[in-house]
Chains A and B, each alone.
Chain A
Amino acid sequence: MKTEPLIIGDYTFESRLFLGTGKFGSNALMHDAVFASGSELVTVALRRVRLQEQEDEVVSHLQIPGVHLLPNTSGVRTAKEAVLAAQLAREALQTNLLKLEIHPDPRYLLPDPIETLAATEILAKEGFIVLPYINADPVLCKRLEDVGAAAVMPLGAPIGTNQGLQTRAMLEIIIEQSAVPVVVDAGIGAPSQAAEAMEMGADAVLVNTAIAVAGDPVAMANAFRMATLAGRIAFEARMGAVSKSAAASSPLTAFLAQE
């Protein structure tokens, strides 16, 4: 079953599940999980080349038809560093897509809103399709939209925690107000949570740890594929209203008891 396509910048996606490629046991496993997920947008990080070391190139394992790469700026601490990282990413991967993440604090990896806003403005002007990773702050999301973010990526919970949608109430406000796609990123730990985000009206979810560290990452990627799709179909089908008192779903005419 098909759902409405998702458009970010000049890219169109049929799948609303984005994948991170960190923490997989091997590049082969990563490839198979990406394939099973049906994702068309997968993140990669950038790292300094280690001289005199033969490196297994990640990109060659991600050459899957229909799959685009989304480089991230993980590891930078300021807007200035992020701009250089973005320019390097564009050069290395020949893409304008960018997951902007600036998290100076190594314990909770929470994004710095001030540096992120500054970097988004600069990079959008330089022609990048900027997807900033941020806390679930509705005001910040609107400010990012104003300075040219192509989408916003609020967190459900800190990166890699599998805690689910801890920020649910704020995500609802962000989704209600946003004029750009909302991608719930970080913290999603179970397929049911991906479905929940999609039912709420999120435009996409980005999942990494929950798949990569699962006992069977390929099966889990498939589960996330189905859950994300189910959530989106439910959203497009418009769910029934929640009510406090019961509403009968069977006829209440008495036929066994005499009235």
Chain B
Amino acid sequence: MHIYVNDEETPIESGETLDSLLSRLTSGGKLAVAVNDTVIRQAEWPDYQLQADDRVLLIAPVQGG
């Protein structure tokens, strides 16, 4: 099955958690996540199971005015 991470189609294993996905795709650092437009707090990542076609938005702080 697959999901969409920042609009990119991304394969996942059935039952994969958000925590697992993030450790595969990101290099750590400050990060915030929304799934289907709902923010998922960091404490919930280990138990949050992704579903097929979920839209995951990953954002991070950058320079800006």
Residues of A within 8 A of B (CB): 20-24, 27, 30, 43-51, 54-55, 57-60, 69, 71-72, 74, 84-85, 87-89, 91-93, 159-160, 206, 208-209
Contacts and interface: CB of A to CB of B under 8 A. Distances in A.
B59 A48 contact: yes
A123 to B, nearest CB: 13
Contact of B65 (A47, A48, A50, A159): A159
B62 A44 contact: yes
8 contacts: A22-B64, A22-B65, A49-B6, A49-B31, A51-B8, A55-B62, A84-B39, A92-B31
Given A51-B6, A88-B59, A89-B32, A44 B37 contact: no
Interface stretch (B12-20, B22-30, B46-54): B22-30
Given A60-B29, A91-B39, A93-B61, 18 more contacts: A44-B61, A46-B64, A48-B6, A48-B58, A49-B6, A51-B8, A55-B62, A57-B30, A58-B62, A69-B61, A74-B64, A87-B34, A88-B33, A89-B61, A92-B31, A92-B61, A93-B30, A209-B65
Contact of B30 (A21, A50, A92): A92
Given A46-B59, A92-B59, A20 B5 contact: no
Contacts of B8: 51
Interface of B: 5-6, 8, 25-27, 29-34, 37, 39, 41-42, 57-65
A46 B34 contact: no
A93 to B, nearest CB: 6
B64 A43 contact: yes
Given A43-B64, A49-B59, A88-B59, A54 B27 contact: yes
